[in-house]
Amino acid sequence: MNNQYFCTYNVKGIHHPIKRKKLLSFLKKDKVQIAFLQETHLIDKEHIKLKRDWVGQVYYSSFSSNSRGVTILIHKAIPFVLSSCKQDPEGRYILVHGTIYGMHITMMNIYAPNPPPPSFWTKVATELEEFRCPITLLGGDCNCCQDDSKDRSRTDRYRNKSSDTSLAKMLDDINLIDIWRVLNPTARDFTFYSNPHKSYSRIDHFFIPPHITGQATSCNIGSIHISDHAPVYLEIAMRCDIEGPRRWRFPSYLLSDKDFKKKMKEEMGLFFDKNDNGDTNPEFLWEAAKACVRGIAISYMARRKKVLLLKQRELEAELKAAEFAHKSSPTRTNLIKVQTVRAALNSVLNEKASRSLFYQRQR
């Protein structure tokens, strides 16, 4: 595994060389490998000057020397190979798609208008969907919150509620989650301080697909000092697949899964009813059938993985409560409860271990 350390930061202008140097030194000290910067206030030739010291690659969208501008800085030690780059002439976003350690990744850095209109989120969603891949990161300054009660220090101030709703709808449409909130479900912390309103808010974010939540090892908010925003840090564990893609093998443990066999029988029945009309080339039909089996298996495993993870968390919480009850009152009833929950949890862990062993043998 290779852990990648990301940072999103509204820097409020780095036109002055001293502030630019201070920022790069700060990011280096914090061991940032990929930085999403907003409000750079740099034109093209000045953005290029950011390629110095630890920075090996620079991707940017400029607007003017006194407003907007976004850039993605990539450490020279990170083997990022670019496939596509989408720049915004308004300096509101930059999107790059490529590979790191053989893994496809899409990164989009945004600086939303204040307040952001629904059309902005529609544009963001459209661009992201074009380059969507298993590891998709959307980061930046959204200029709005999702939950006032948790993300604002004061809720009695004017706000544009439609902006918050539009952001939430966009995230739901493209299936991205606020990873800081997932890792800190009840915490209150903020990334921006408004002097006029004398209030804090959390408007700087990283959004990722739910299926890589387990790879996000940490997401933290820094201090407000270089600009009026705080940096947000995200650490993601990425598998090093530099040896190239592996040949897919059917997971044999699914053959003992009754639900899977029922699902496969139904889906393949529909497949052959639709595609085997007597005139179809048998070779083409066979290749298509294999692709269909693979798709069904992958989809089923993904859903099953989510179910197992949720079940594990529920049982762990239930076991903790049962053990506490038994320690407080060591009755036979409480002991049986502990043993029952423990057995159920072990069953889930055994299934997860079997899945893991299969993939280890496949490598």
Is residue 352 domain-resident?
A: yes
Residues 259 and 221 in one domain: no
| Residues of the binding site for Mg(2+) | 10, 39, 141, 143, 228-229
Check whether the bond before 115 is cis (ω within 30° of 0).
yes
User: Does 85 map to a domain?
Assistant: yes
Same domain, 44 and 122: yes
pLDDT tens-digit profile of 177-190?
Answer: 999 999 988 888 99
Residues 172 and 49 in one domain: yes
Looking at the structure, do residues 87 and 178 belong to the same domain, yes or no? yes
Catalytic residues: 111, 141, 229
Residue 337 belongs to a domain: yes
274 contact partners, CB below 8 Å, separation of at least 6: none
259 in the same domain as 171: no
Q: Which residues contribute to the annotated binding site?
A: 10, 39, 141, 143, 228-229
Same domain, 188 and 280: no
Q: Which residue has the tokens 């690659």?
A: 57
Residues 162 and 276 in one domain: no
Q: Does residue 91 sit in the same domain as residue 39?
A: yes
Each residue's pLDDT tens digit, 160-179: 555 567 898 899 889 999 99
Q: Are residues 259 and 113 in the same domain?
A: no
What digits encode the pLDDT tens for the residues 253-306?
Answer: 788 888 889 999 998 888 888 888 777 777 777 877 887 888 888 888 888 888
Of 238, 263, 279, which closes a domain? 238
Question: Containing domain of residue 141, as a range?
Answer: 2-238
CA distance 232 to 257: 43
CA distance 61 to 71: 6
- Sorting pLDDT into bands at 50, 70 and 90, what band is 149? confident
Mean pLDDT calculated for residue range 198-223: 92
